[in-house]
Chains A and B, each alone.
Chain A
Amino acid sequence: MKLFNVKNLIRLLVLMVVYGIIQYLFINKAINPFYMMTLVLVCIYIILAVSQNIITGFTGQLALGHAGFMAIGAYMSALVVVRMQGSLVAGIIFGALMAAAAGMLIGLPTLRLRGDYLAIATLGLGEIVRIFFLNMDYLGGATGFSVPKTIDWTWAFWLMALSVFLMSSFINSSHGRACISVRENEIAAEAMGINTTKYKVMAFTMGAFFAGLAGAIYANYMYLIHPGTFSFLKSFEILAMVVLGGLGSITGSVVGAGVLTIISAGLADYPEFRMVIIALVMIILMVYRPNGLLGNKELKLDFLRIKKKG
């Protein structure tokens, strides 16, 4: 696959326009810092949702430990930045790599499990990670760990764009196809000579890497990280974004993450009703659109595409 084909150039152009408009509005004070924060959170959740989708939507493995990987990324990057006085980039890379390493370590034994057993095992691992950080007084423990805010909207947006691009390239590669075959029929895939364990671990490691990256962005943006933020409810939230957007659709995850985060911020003026409304949105959307907003289709820039045929 060529990196600089027309399609990618158009995508890049669209991204630049989106970035430019928001940046312009922000500089002109048309977007207040609260909405700016919401947009950065949208970027973070997009990375989380798409990486969860790689594991669950494309490879078919129901894992519920994403908050754990996010926590590893967040705490490890904070370790580098605060305790070791490292640079932000070093922190982010270290955080993501540590999460990926943890993903691989956890994936190797647990990915033998199927379906709901995998779900509960990964959920348990995510909780173990949280309890570990809760007991780590060196990294703030129960009080939380203060991290200076060094990430801004520009960083978050372009890291998000890069992550989504890398993950969608992975899905469209032969490795990605192999992952999809594992989802469709594991036994048939194995019979076709695909090393299913290898691809499952690969997808899992990749998902963990980007979850760690999102966690690192979160840590360096939100001033304070706290073990309570990374409970299993966060994993549920991420999974909900993926399923609401559509399993197996990258743009679906983008939409799902955007919808849930923006609804939550938009309802900030009605604190008592906020979570009840979000719960109802989840139920109603699922009952009426069980395959998610986009199903497994992708949202395409059709109207921009140069027509090849008819």
Chain B
Amino acid sequence: MVKLFNFIDRKSPIHALTGASKLACMMCWIFAAMVTFDTRYLIFLTVAAVALFQVSKIHLSDVKVLLIFTLVFLLLNNALIYLFSPEHGVTIYGSRTLLLHIVGRYTITSQQLLYHLNVVLKYTATIPVVMLFICTTQPSEFASSLNRIGVSYRISYSVSLALRYIPDVMKEFHDISLAQQARGVELSGKAGVFKRLKSATSILMPLILSSLDRIEVVSNAMELRCFGREKSRTWYREQPFLRNDYLAFICGFVLIAVSLLLNIPNGGRYWNPF
């Protein structure tokens, strides 16, 4: 079976937290890093995220593939920003300190460099936390966590079903694709774009029909077991909140609060040293 979310079972304080507190903390962290453009705070978040990584006993080699993806995405995004708006920082910070003139409108200013640093830091502050969440949370605990932090259990159950059926749908897709290729449907680069879109449809149609069948079967099974009769439900993977969980909740709220409060001394979302 394909391993979908890279859950790595080790013993650490982070693994011991309940999924709900980790989820809440991750959401707060993402939100805090999203709102602020204060370089100092972003550096703090990055350092804290890396420190948490150390605590969790997840090694860099465990997430190497993901990291490479992230790095490529990060470089591409920065390159695009620079290509389209080489003086975006100047408009944001309202001053211009020219360091180097390259050609035409492409210059290097300290304001632009700070802006790029902020963009990079936004990634480095959030991505370790997202990876940490994925690596230290049982996928099956995810749904019960959602329910815990206030999402209705019906929708949490949808998420749980999605996680449960992703490998099945993947396998089915693969089988159908092989079967269609055996019947002569061209999917490789030899065919043109439109031809390939058309042949993709010849895989998707059986996939949709079989998914509709699956929906029928699963919902009948759930109906027979009286799903949704009660106001709440219990979860197989559910842990009681411990001291550390409350600490994680508090941490999350403090992170957001600091991020919002920084708007006051900074006079906006940007920290402007110029």
- Mutual binders A and B: no
